[in-house]
Structure 1
């Protein structure tokens, strides 16, 4: 009787040998033991670990049980079923399938559903249960996948085969644990940014942009009240306030520049095809005005003329006002007075100005606080606007003159001079009591700040008239007395060109003296840029040409140089430094490119004055250097 062969327990053989706890030589495609017995070798499987604490769905277990019933004994089937009975109640299949479908659709998975990521961190171990669950490892049930084939599986393939759960891993391949927080944090962060960026920009608008944009701001600010009640229901308004917020943040966050530009385009896309009648709504009008004004925030040379002209036509249209009594036309009337003042020196009088009517006078007689964008009185703003139209017309006429002046050009000059005299009288007879300036309740801006700014604008208007129309100055020339500046007396003498320049320089210094008493924190700083540009061309040092006028008279030359050295040069240098300091601060406080653009214009004016002997007017520099912008 032959001795019985001894076979030790197999741990890595074919399924047939492992089921009988026999050693397998692991020959391929069929082991020797199966060949000797004449049975079909069940094949080999790779070692995969599966956590016992996680569960399958009842459907998955049922499918596995059905497949096992055709291939294994009742005893093995019962053993496998009992071992995985604990997985019966969790719908893992549905969770996987729905999650993959969500990813394929570009949606994010519910964070709570994936809060417990320990399932993916666990090492899968099926070796201890493979003998009792042959249905999950039987190659006849699901074909064996190589690593390359597994890598090429798409999301849809994965979802389709998620039920089978027969992934084959290489024995030498270790599955690194997945960081349960990394992918979730990335998805959550991206989702948060996309969902809340709009809200954050809108919140920043109310918190920081409105106080920067308005001369004064508090709970009764009509701009704040109007936008707060409309922005959530108005797409163009929502886009434009996001654009303004992003523009103010672009200096610190450069990526916001593209957001500001795209939101601005989206806002205008909502309105550009609207008729004037459909545009006559509070939310659309204020959105259109903000779009026009903030063109220069993104592109300083863009004045937004087309938009402002459309708004002006709507505001001045009597029929639209009668048909829409609920529209805040008085608010937009004040806004357009402000816009016209800023545009007057850049383009002159519009080709087809809107007709004026009694609505203007009614608005001026109101006792409400000054407009939050305007700050100064409407009368002052309209007078400065007329000055701008006149100055631009005369400057343009002067630029177009070639050779000698003909009679038509002389007649045009006389007409402008007549208009200039009328505006001068209006500015001189203006009294502070007429200014619609009242206590605003703003902690940073008080009534005195607005009154000083109002006065500075009046004096700046007169400064421009006296520079462009020197006949007006000759008709009232007396040594400048700050206390009696508005009181016109008969001239004491006919001033020379040098005396006119000194008189105008003294007036410019007086204007800056008024601005210098206003704190930097005051909201009236929004209006100071125009004043700085207008007075900049008066802050000139004496040139060699002026010195030559006195070269033949030693006593006069010494007296002139002593006066220039002790007073004029020092005062002008200090005035320039004051403007530099204020504009540098404004560039930080009002962080939009336009502020730096205005500062660059002022520096260009001074460079031109210092390099070239003779008179330099600031409008010459604006057009020569292409530095057009809204000076406010």
Structure 2
């Protein structure tokens, strides 16, 4: 079922707890510098960046804080469960607050056996005392399996490529045994996946998820979040739907957004490595924001609130680009698609709740049209990296062309949602094309404009499918594909008056101009074959990725088609989603 990458440094199997934790630092070979997002050196930087403010100075060498991180306010701490919930690792030894701040640097060494991750050594007692971080016995019994499964399968689900350059493998393998939150969240994610084949893991995963929340709350209260806590926050928020498809991670997104944006707003000078790390987490926010924009009413608009991080000044944009685990090579496109999702959802909600026409309603419609025109222009003018512009991520199953095609598919699916909801955007292309309708409507006339719009939408949906359907399911880029398949489903209609488009003289983007879909006549068999591909691919993802969100997506797609076929009219997938409460994180 799975194609597994065998890491060079996989965590050891659990052994009985040693008298003392290992303290040999891990040294990683320097890799060639790569640009724009982060390089292999940043993996080391992420790994070693434990905030000095969270340590006592006695017995420890001073560590430089890797980047300014925000203090968490009380309202942000309300996002996490009270520490009375679940089974909180109890304090050992002194109960004073500063003892909660003692996390030695030597726990950030090589991957250790799981039992060592349950211990925490006081700096001034490293040779005398082992302070345990106990788990309930039921959870301890599963730790060995869960940790192994995380590094064998799950870490590849958090990234669109998997190799030693995947930080959710390499960086986490260096950090998990020294971070309470990472220790719990890695196992929680593994338990959520394994619950499909062993239901016992469902309750185990819930308890581990709650433990991760509690630990993140405690870490936030101590001082500034460490890098390990930021990674745990991303992993927690984006995996909540693995346990419950209704959990979207909006509160966790808000916390991470405030943290990332606050550093930029302060205007503090940052070293190059710190800028890279800040931009790394900003990429994660962009992808997360895009997923949320289609399924939440809250507008996660990071641009309007505070300045956004930009690529480090010293990085040449013309040099090869290193793919990011979530955005791949399409951060600019995904930012715009996130804005499209928010705009379209807001407009669909307005139309659904409108009871009468008012000046305010007209103004909102005009504002939406203006916003759609701006987003359309920006999507059409973005220059995406070409295959030769992308650094090899070291994953033979995920060549650069897969990421290029997915970035282009996201651009086209953003355009598709705009054309569906703001059809005036298609007028220039209709005027530049010759088209012939098939059969007349009930009045005996040929509905040329409607037929052109319907045909264009279906052809564009098929073009999006063409961009991704030949990418095998073994490609790690599968982790960022699900939204693409859902977003085209309402254009695969069996009851539209299609026409034949010829001599298309104007096209919004080059890939559409080159697509054969806009030159060949459409027929119902092509639509049915496309539906079959969508179902086949999502069904494959259900067995490879976290099953619960994918299962929800399959329900949404099938329900949309059932409504279209039964009612003999167009039905928009987002309306079906809102009607039935099918919202989930589609990535």
Shorter chain as denominator, the TM-score bin is 0.5 to 0.7
Q: Does 1:415 align with 2:367?
A: yes
Cα distance in 2 for partners of 1:225, 1:447 equals: 20
Tell me the residue number matched to 1:182: none
| 1:365 to 1:221, Cα distance in 2 relative to 1, 3 A | farther
Tell me the residue number matched to 2:571: 616
Tell me the residue number matched to 2:322: 369
- Contact 2:187–2:205, Cα closer than 8 Å, also in 1: yes
Tell me the residue number matched to 2:12: none
Q: 1:439 aligns with which of 346, 367, 392?
A: 392
Cα distance in 1 for partners of 2:532, 2:487 equals: 16
- Contact 2:139–2:204, Cα closer than 8 Å, also in 1: no
Deviation, structure 1 residue 515:
1.1
- Contact 2:330–2:384, Cα closer than 8 Å, also in 1: no
Deviation, structure 1 residue 203:
2.0
Tell me the residue number matched to 1:338: 287
- Contact 1:280–1:320, Cα closer than 8 Å, also in 2: no
- Contact 1:444–1:523, Cα closer than 8 Å, also in 2: yes
Q: How does 1:106-121 map to 2 (within 5 A)?
A: none
Tell me the residue number matched to 1:476: 429
Deviation, structure 1 residue 239:
0.4
Cα distance in 2 for partners of 1:387, 1:402 equals: 25
**Cα displacement string for residues 505-551 of structure 1 (whole angstroms, at most 9, x for unaligned residues):** 011111111111211211111222111111000011116xx69xxxx
| 1:333 to 1:358, Cα distance in 2 relative to 1, 3 A | closer
Q: 2:309 aligns with which of 328, 342, 359?
A: 359
Cα distance in 2 for partners of 1:194, 1:278 equals: 29
Q: Does 1:201 align with 2:146?
A: yes
Q: How does 1:84-163 map to 2 (within 5 A)?
A: none
Cα distance in 1 for partners of 2:183, 2:364 equals: 48
- Contact 1:375–1:437, Cα closer than 8 Å, also in 2: no
Cα distance in 1 for partners of 2:239, 2:139 equals: 24
- Contact 2:385–2:404, Cα closer than 8 Å, also in 1: no
- Contact 1:279–1:285, Cα closer than 8 Å, also in 2: no
| 1:340 to 1:495, Cα distance in 2 relative to 1, 3 A | farther
**Cα displacement string for residues 261-314 of structure 1 (whole angstroms, at most 9, x for unaligned residues):** 110011101123554883521111111111111111111011111111011000
Tell me the residue number matched to 1:246: 191
Tell me the residue number matched to 1:227: 172
Secondary structure of 2:323's aligned partner = coil
| 1:591 to 1:479, Cα distance in 2 relative to 1, 3 A | farther
**Cα displacement string for residues 393-431 of structure 1 (whole angstroms, at most 9, x for unaligned residues):** 21121112113x222211211111111111111111222
**Cα displacement string for residues 149-172 of structure 1 (whole angstroms, at most 9, x for unaligned residues):** xxxxxxxxxxxxxxxxxxxxxxxx
- Contact 1:530–1:631, Cα closer than 8 Å, also in 2: yes
Cα distance in 2 for partners of 1:277, 1:467 equals: 49
Secondary structure of 1:502's aligned partner = helix
Cα distance in 2 for partners of 1:192, 1:452 equals: 47
**Cα displacement string for residues 192-219 of structure 1 (whole angstroms, at most 9, x for unaligned residues):** 9975631331122112111233110111
Cα distance in 2 for partners of 1:376, 1:410 equals: 38
Secondary structure of 1:467's aligned partner = helix
Cα distance in 1 for partners of 2:344, 2:433 equals: 23
Q: 2:412 aligns with which of 459, 464, 485?
A: 459
Deviation, structure 1 residue 332:
1.1
Aligned residues: 412
Segment drifting more, 568-577 vs 199-208: 199-208
Secondary structure of 2:161's aligned partner = coil
- Contact 2:159–2:325, Cα closer than 8 Å, also in 1: yes
**Cα displacement string for residues 478-526 of structure 1 (whole angstroms, at most 9, x for unaligned residues):** 5889xxxxxxxxxxx9952232111110111111111112112111112
Tell me the residue number matched to 2:341: 388
Gaps of 5+ in 2: 1-15, 17-135, 435-445, 499-520
Cα distance in 2 for partners of 1:424, 1:412 equals: 18
Cα distance in 2 for partners of 1:309, 1:434 equals: 33
Deviation, structure 1 residue 223:
2.7
Deviation, structure 1 residue 365:
6.3
Q: 1:530 aligns with which of 456, 467, 483?
A: 483
TM-score relative to the length of structure 2: 0.65
Q: 1:603 aligns with which of 548, 555, 558?
A: 558
| 1:308 to 1:321, Cα distance in 2 relative to 1, 3 A | farther
Q: Does 1:499 align with 2:444?
A: no
| 1:583 to 1:197, Cα distance in 2 relative to 1, 3 A | same
| 1:590 to 1:459, Cα distance in 2 relative to 1, 3 A | same
Tell me the residue number matched to 1:539: 492
| 1:290 to 1:192, Cα distance in 2 relative to 1, 3 A | closer
Structure 1 or 2, whichever has the larger Rg, is: 1
Cα distance in 1 for partners of 2:251, 2:137 equals: 38
Cα distance in 1 for partners of 2:149, 2:431 equals: 52
- Contact 2:219–2:229, Cα closer than 8 Å, also in 1: no
Tell me the residue number matched to 1:406: 358
- Contact 2:294–2:341, Cα closer than 8 Å, also in 1: yes
- Greater RCO, CA 8 A, separation 6+: 2
- Contact 1:466–1:473, Cα closer than 8 Å, also in 2: yes
Secondary structure of 2:324's aligned partner = coil
**Cα displacement string for residues 453-501 of structure 1 (whole angstroms, at most 9, x for unaligned residues):** 11111000000000000111123225889xxxxxxxxxxx995223211
Tell me the residue number matched to 1:269: 214
Segment drifting more, 220-229 vs 409-418: 220-229
Tell me the residue number matched to 2:246: 301
- Contact 2:241–2:549, Cα closer than 8 Å, also in 1: yes
Tell me the residue number matched to 1:216: 161
Tell me the residue number matched to 1:256: 201
Cα distance in 2 for partners of 1:368, 1:225 equals: 20
Tell me the residue number matched to 1:290: 235
